[in-house]
Chain A
Amino acid sequence: MAETQEILEGAMAVAHAVARCRPEVIAAYPITPQTHISEELSQIVADGDLDAEFVKVESEFGAASVVCGASAAGARTYTATSSQGLLLMNEVLWNIAGMRLPVVLACANRSLSAPLSIWCDHQDAEAIRDCGVIQLYAEDNQEACDQHLIAFKVAEDRRVLLPAMVNLDGFLLTHVFEPTIIPDQALSDQYLPPYKAVLKLDIDDPATFGAFTEPDKCMEGRWMVHDACRRSLPVIEEASAEFEKVFGRASGGLLENYKTDDAETILVAKGSISGTIKDVIDEMRDEGTKVGLMRIKTYRPWPGEAVLAALKGAKQVAVIERGGSFGAGGIMTPEVKETLYDAGLRIPVSGFCVQLGGREVPPDGIREIIDRVSSGEKQTAYEYFRLKQELLPDLVPEV
């Protein structure tokens, strides 16, 4: 085999990586910035290069429902979406997780309406954070490709049996051309053998999926989703190690710790902004600032032990987010705080919403955050960074 890098658009590379996983049923509905993934997959199937059923649907609700049913019938299934499309899948995703179906999907992360925006943030994926879908985040297009193989491997593992979603930043990854390897087919087959369902819908051996449960049983059914999701942590590590062994590159795992070992200030982030952060860290390291990055690659399940190990030596932590919980604070920021607090650590943690709806965060913005936090600035409230005060109304009208 010879795996070679090519200059490919992110969405195209992902579509071909998905095809190497040999999904048997694909259903998707177009939405920016995901569309190129499902368009290309549709082309691959139409060209006869992938033996799969591509089901055209009327909405994302339909797409999720098709892959739910097909997965329950024992097929390897795939869908991709963004933003409002993911929200329209929301109801079905809870069912897919509850029925323990290993559907794999991609989310090309995009802002939610309103105001309407097509650009990147993480609010779409974070809005479905709690439903039992495993969430992986890619920094670059190689990871976005490779994490699909890992996602299938983990989702279909008998110890897990849960849906898994690969997050890649809309436009920032989906529309970027960069050197990427499409995983070799023979290696992909070696890594990911055909899916054999433990239980499936079978007319000769009827069963009910997602049955009605009375209060005496329902809670256990829900707890099992929680438990399976938690127990997927070592499975993700295993599948990532095996991926590295087969393909010779590390694309999976729970976290990436970049220059955190002796860092006094550690940033926490996920997704494609991490590349820009690393460049800023290198510059500031040269100037003598002891700063590092803990990049979240697996967001659900929350890798608490690994987070604690990475952050426990820090003097201060800054969480860089692309979302928020309106009326409360951040999304990841309280999770980082909880992990540290539960371990008895009171390391100051500052949360910054740096970008909603695709606002550019230039390197000097990252630098400003590092400077502020490193200088010991006390911060209590989650901050919407560089909010344009001039665009805000002076007064809230009296009710």
Chain B
Amino acid sequence: MLKEIRIHGRGGQGSVTAAEVLAKAAFRDGIISQAFPAFGSERMGAPVQAFVRLSDKPIRTRAVIAEPDYLIVQDPTLFGQVDIFGGIKKGGMAVVNTEKPEDVDVPDGVTLRPVPGTKIAMEVIGRPIPNMVMVGAFAGMTGLVSLESIQEAVKERFGGKVGEMNAEAVAKAYNAAKQEK
């Protein structure tokens, strides 16, 4: 079992932190994980990518993920600017932060799971930072990682009230993405 995930976002949206938290949460569930950014000179607002691999065996490869099984898209304005679906496997799934799924041009054989990530983040956290929300949505969509582990990893990463609020937002997104099935 090797699952490869590519996260698309913009500098400042916490895509690398999302990858880190997803890897840590999966590890809590006994899954071997690897997370890394697309190493660049990150600038606020510029398109960025981060990558996560989940496996039942030690992960040796360090190649950039060119053919992901899953996509996490933090910012719908990236469509048209970045080849978001580039290389995605047939049968792949994309969880996208959007309230207008009809605007997303989804390739054949790929499942779109729209989640209003920014809206959830604003409601629960009060800030338009959707990264943890989208990790929760990913877990809800795929069932690969447990909600509890994501919440624990989020609380460990942020601590205090920020951690609690993000954990709550994660649960909301998890359930939203799960119910979409």
Interface residues of A (CB under 8 A from B): 5-7, 9, 33, 118-119, 140, 171-172, 175-179, 272-273, 275-276, 278-279, 358, 360-363
Q: Does B60 contact A (CB under 8 A)?
A: yes
Which of A6, A119, A179 counts the most chain B CB atoms within 10 A? A179
Binds A, one of B33-41, B72-80, B112-120, B132-140: B33-41
B61-105 CB mask vs A (1 if < 8 Å, else 0) is 111101000000000000000000000000000000000000000
Which residue of chain B has its CB nearest to the CB of A280?
A: B61
Known: A177-B19, A177-B23. A360 touches B63 (CB 8 A): yes
Query: B23 contacts A7, CB within 8 Å?
Result: yes
Query: A176 contacts B36, CB within 8 Å?
Result: yes
Query: B61 contacts A7, CB within 8 Å?
Result: no
Which residue of chain B has its CB nearest to the CB of A170?
A: B39
Chain B residues 47-66 with CB under 8 Å of chain A are 59-64, 66
Residues of A within 8 A of B62 (CB): 172, 176, 272-273, 275-276
Query: B39 contacts A171, CB within 8 Å?
Result: yes
Which residue of chain A has its CB nearest to the CB of B153?
A: A7
Query: B60 contacts A275, CB within 8 Å?
Result: yes
Residues of B within 8 A of A140 (CB): 60
Contact of B32 among A6, A118, A179, A279 (CB under 8 A): A179
Query: A358 contacts B39, CB within 8 Å?
Result: yes
Contact of A278 among B19, B24, B39, B60 (CB under 8 A): B60
Query: B60 contacts A177, CB within 8 Å?
Result: no
Bound together, the chains give a CA A19 to CA B59 distance in angstroms of 27
Q: Does B168 contact A (CB under 8 A)?
A: no
**How many pairs of residues, A versus B, come closer than 8 Å at their CB atoms?**
65
Closest-CB distance, A187 to chain B (whole angstroms) = 22
Residues of B within 8 A of A172 (CB): 36, 39, 62
Which of B33, B37, B62 counts the most chain A CB atoms within 10 A? B62
Closest-CB distance, B129 to chain A (whole angstroms) = 20
- Secondary structure call for the B interface: mixed
Which of A140, A176, A272 counts the most chain B CB atoms within 10 A? A176
Known: A7-B23, A177-B23. A279 touches B60 (CB 8 A): yes
Query: B35 contacts A363, CB within 8 Å?
Result: no
Interface residues of B (CB under 8 A from A): 19-20, 23-24, 27, 32-37, 39, 41, 59-64, 66
Bound together, the chains give a CA A119 to CA B36 distance in angstroms of 14
Closest-CB distance, B159 to chain A (whole angstroms) = 16
Query: A276 contacts B60, CB within 8 Å?
Result: yes
Query: B36 contacts A177, CB within 8 Å?
Result: yes
Bound together, the chains give a CA A272 to CA B62 distance in angstroms of 7
Query: A276 contacts B36, CB within 8 Å?
Result: no
Which residue of chain B has its CB nearest to the CB of A173?
A: B62
Query: B61 contacts A176, CB within 8 Å?
Result: no
Query: A362 contacts B39, CB within 8 Å?
Result: no
Bound together, the chains give a CA A252 to CA B92 distance in angstroms of 40
Contact of A362 among B19, B27, B59, B66 (CB under 8 A): B66
Query: B61 contacts A275, CB within 8 Å?
Result: yes
Query: A177 contacts B35, CB within 8 Å?
Result: yes
Query: A7 contacts B39, CB within 8 Å?
Result: no
Known: A7-B24, A175-B39. A279 touches B61 (CB 8 A): yes
Bound together, the chains give a CA A272 to CA B32 distance in angstroms of 18
Query: B61 contacts A276, CB within 8 Å?
Result: yes
Residues of B within 8 A of A7 (CB): 20, 23-24, 27, 33, 35
Residues of A within 8 A of B23 (CB): 7, 177-178
Which residue of chain A has its CB nearest to the CB of B33?
A: A7
Bound together, the chains give a CA A11 to CA B37 distance in angstroms of 14
